[in-house]
Structure 1
């Protein structure tokens, strides 16, 4: 049996375990949270190294993109280098392919040219952001608003890309927890000036923890496009009157796993690392990975 483990800086309350059969292989998928403890994550990766087929990094980005340029976070590189034998991935390769593809596949259900989209962090999901620009959605890139706490909405992807070229070499050297909620911080929600940008949008897309953190009490039937959601997250979304939940990764035993888990799964199935963009797309097609749409208020 193939064995894939996501080592996450997120809350251990979200831990899960599932067995699946894909392409004739049995695979055990696990998610293990370390509650924001970087040293615990390092220790767990060293313990798993050579014993599992692939490791995913959760709750932290190893790489972020701006156009075709890739920037590595210092803290995440330290984690990845703790494994000497087992491949370590963060989901960025899959985000760049799976999420871009999902936007185009949803064109028969969403009139993108007449849809306003909020992406709280575009550098974390640059493939998604580029795809939204390609289909003509009116998109607000919230990197300054939600990442840096500055009331500067951006509507131009090319302008965001130029700013990213200037800022990412510096930002990626900062402690990751300054930029993204880890551990118990992921469980906190806030209602402040940032929440009003959700009400401008018809659909909010991107990382779940960014989306959840500032979501207003009443989403008024708006849609959410994201990746990892648990049964608890579904209850949260229903309570805030989200109309549709669209997940880019499949639901397995009641939850959709993160892109880092799914990328590690593809690496384990292929027996190869790294995979090219074409190879990611080949496995996405072979596995039939398509966005899943849930009408939450109808279910409620």
Structure 2
């Protein structure tokens, strides 16, 4: 894909490996020094929970294979963009997000979204144990999520990513589960592969807040009765790309990655970097209403 952004021509290429770590390693080595930026997809490098940062061992090993090209995973953009989007949706009369029942399928990889949903008065169910670990226990408070994150963060970040996240052909499988939790939600938010993984047969009037969806995914949601779709990232050629791609675009345009602030475990990327490029490029959420909404 060739695009012109901010007066510069960008070539954006998605290289799938079907969850094969060796193929991913080979791709990073091949593009190191050739690409302006590399965005890791389907794997987080960092998790931010309650002021602490945890590093996924497998993702860190992949990132360190690149010696000349910056490697990002989208976590810094999630921390800023998704907070902005939730605040905008809270004021948007079409969505009226405030005080809605929200199922956030995984909060530890979207802690900025989790905090802002709660701050805007939403009643949030956190599905981290259910969707990430297969443990049928919903969480209902940030305090509980914090405690869980601090206990499990050092452990789960040492595990292979395919234990926690659907990769390869598993992303195409839908096995309905947790119907009661889905049914209570006015809005289902978070990573689309997690949302899709246990999608119920019907989603009457439910809004979906996510990204990385294709036109086929949109058709699936419409057939199952979803009320609307909100993607936090722009649509390019029929796909709303992930935050890892958009973050890589920012780095390519800037010519350098965002600086890290703080010390020890309290390391956050420079938020001003992301806000600058979000404003400069006019990045806004895409809102598509299919039905009567969530009321």
TM-score, scaled relative to structure 1? 0.91
Residue 261 (structure 1) aligns with: 245
Unaligned runs of 5+ in 1: 1-17
1:113 to partner: Cα distance: 3.4
- The worse-fitting range, judged by mean Cα deviation, of 86-95 and 280-289 is 280-289
1:45 aligns with 2:28: yes
- Structure with the bigger percentage of strand: 1
Structure 2 unmatched runs, 5+? 260-269
For 2:66, which of 83, 88, 94 is the aligned residue? 83
Q: Match for residue 57 of structure 2? A: 74
Q: Larger deviation: 271-280 or 55-64?
A: 271-280
Q: Residues 55 and 87 of structure 1 are in contact (CA less than 8 Å); yes or no, is this contact kept in structure 2?
A: yes
Q: Please give the alpha-carbon distance, in whole angstroms, between the structure 2 residues aligned to 1:227 and 1:158.
A: 26
**Structure 1 position 287 matched with structure 2 position 281:** yes
> Which residue of structure 2 lines up, in the alignment, with residue 7 of structure 1?
none
Count of residues in correspondence between the two structures: 280
From 135, 149, 155, the equivalent of 1:150 is 135
Task: Report the counterpart of residue 229 of structure 2 in structure 1.
Answer: 245
Cα offset, 1:44, TM superposition: 0.5
- What is residue 209 of structure 1 aligned with on the other side? 193
Matched residue of 2:12: which SS?
strand
One of 36, 39, 51 as aligned partner of 1:56: 39
Partner of 1:132: 117
Q: Which one has a larger percent helix, Structure 1 or Structure 2?
A: 1
- Kindly report the root-mean-square deviation, in angstroms, between the aligned alpha carbons of the 2 structures: 1.2
Cα drift, residue 45 of structure 1: 0.5
4+ runs of 1 displaced by more than 4 Å?
none
TM-score (norm 2): 0.92
Q: Deviations over 1:98-136 (max 9, x none)?
A: 011100011222333330000010001111101101111
The corresponding residue for 2:75 is 92
CA distance in 1, matches of 2:82, 2:98: 18
Equivalent residues of 2:258, 2:273 under 8 A apart: no
Spell out, residue by residue over 1:156-180, the C-alpha distance to the aligned partner (whole angstroms, 9 max, x if none): 0122112211111011111111010
